Structure 1
Amino acid sequence: MKWYADRPVRLTRQLIADLLAVGWVALWIWVATTAHGWVLELRAPGDGLVNAGGDIRDVFTNAAGKARGVPFVGDELSGALGNGSKAGETLIGVGNTQIGVVEDTAFWLATALVVIPVLFLLITWLPVRLRYAFRAAHAVKLRDMPDLLALRALTSLKSKELARFPHDPAAKWRTGDTDTIEELARRQLAALGVRA
């Protein structure tokens, strides 16, 4: 495949288009990472719940351990304080759930912000580039076969371009006029930005 034209004007346009495509992808990656970071800031309440739950659990666990040493009511008091430890565990669970939701949302939002624009780019830009690469590669292979290039020119050049000939180029091609065949082949290569 031939990805770039030989002629400077077309080559410049292709390079600019490719740089814009790379810039488009880089822009959306930046947008996605920025949005990901902003959404992750929403996990602060979940972190607070996890920390508070851990503190409550630790306080009640320590209190329950010390309460076991109280004569007569130590076991009952320790059991009651153990329920406070369960409340701390519940807060930790709720905080972790909130953190998980925020992290999942951040991930999928960032993924969508990259995938959708890149798919749009691939649907619009990539077929144009591939079409050019295949057409230019075929034209380069046909460079030594001016008859076939001339035929391709007759079928692919714009009618405005064909009307610039002083005579009917199709009739001259059919009769084997070498000047017309070479001119058609040159114009076909030029239309693709390929050197003759």
Structure 2
Amino acid sequence: MVVSCAAMRFYAERPVRVMLQLLADALAVGWVVLCVVVGRAARELILALQGPSRALAGAGDTIRGAFDDAARTAQQVPFVGDDLARGLGTGTGAGDALAAAGREQMETIAAVALGAEIGIIVLGALPVLLLWLPLRIRYARAARSAVAVRSVDSDLLALRAMTRLPVRRLRKVSPDPAAAWRRDDRAVVHGLAAIELRSLGLRAPARPPD
């Protein structure tokens, strides 16, 4: 079932809990941004290694151009022009080989740079996202449902408290909270509902009249 994000409550109602949630969110987002910045910086650093390869490709293009010009000039020499042009063609092939090697190295370095960037971002940010995001979504769902029943069903909140919270916290409300809940002790039910809401950083329901 798809849950609308607009229906979720991502933040508590109590100021201290809200501040802690905002701090955790800021740290998580900041860490992801830092991973992206570091990944991009690493990519740029590796791409800087393309300098020699770029120079090699440029030298190859220059050599090829020089031999091409020389071959065209040699063709104009009477009787031996074609032979000279074919001999100079060897230099043209060498220039092509140098240019191709330089470009291949540049492509390899670019691939390594991209892989390093993706690796840093994924390995750095993914564990944080896998820990932080499910916790935030779980809280949002729990808080949404708690707020939805706060004013109409204290019994359900009390039952959730008994199934979710430590016994030592439950015994602060009543020595035997389960028995009090079964006999519909409204004061105990209200107290259990209140600690369930407080555990989520939410305001307690209005206390029923005695």
Q: TM-score, normalised by structure 2?
A: 0.90
Matches for 1:180-195 after TM superposition, within 5 Å: 180-195=188-203
Task: Say if 2:28 and 2:129, in contact at 8 Å, map to a contact too.
Answer: no
Identify the range of structure 1 (52-61 vs 161-170) with the bigger mean alpha-carbon deviation: 161-170
Return the match for 1:46 from 48, 53, 57. Answer: 53
Q: Which residue of 2 aligns with 1:157?
A: 165
Measure, in 1, the Cα distance between the counterparts of 2:159 and 2:47.
61
Matches for 1:1-196 after TM superposition, within 5 Å: 1-143=8-150, 144-196=152-204
Greater fraction of residues in helix: 1
- Among all aligned residue pairs of Structure 1 and Structure 2, give the percentage whose two residues are the same amino acid: 44
Q: Secondary structure at the match of 2:77?
A: coil
Task: Say if 2:70 and 2:85, in contact at 8 Å, map to a contact too.
Answer: yes
Please state how far the C-alpha of 1:95 moved relative to its aligned partner: 0.4
Deviations 1:52-106 (A, max 9, x none): 0011001100000000111111000011111111111111100010000000000
Deviations 1:152-192 (A, max 9, x none): 11111211211213532211111111111111111111111
Measure, in 2, the Cα distance between the counterparts of 1:96 and 1:167.
78
Q: TM-score, normalised by structure 1?
A: 0.97
Where does the alignment leave 5 or more consecutive residues of structure 2 unmatched? 1-7, 205-210
Measure, in 2, the Cα distance between the counterparts of 1:135 and 1:19.
21
Pairwise CA RMSD of aligned residues?
Answer: 1.0
Where does the alignment leave 5 or more consecutive residues of structure 1 unmatched? none
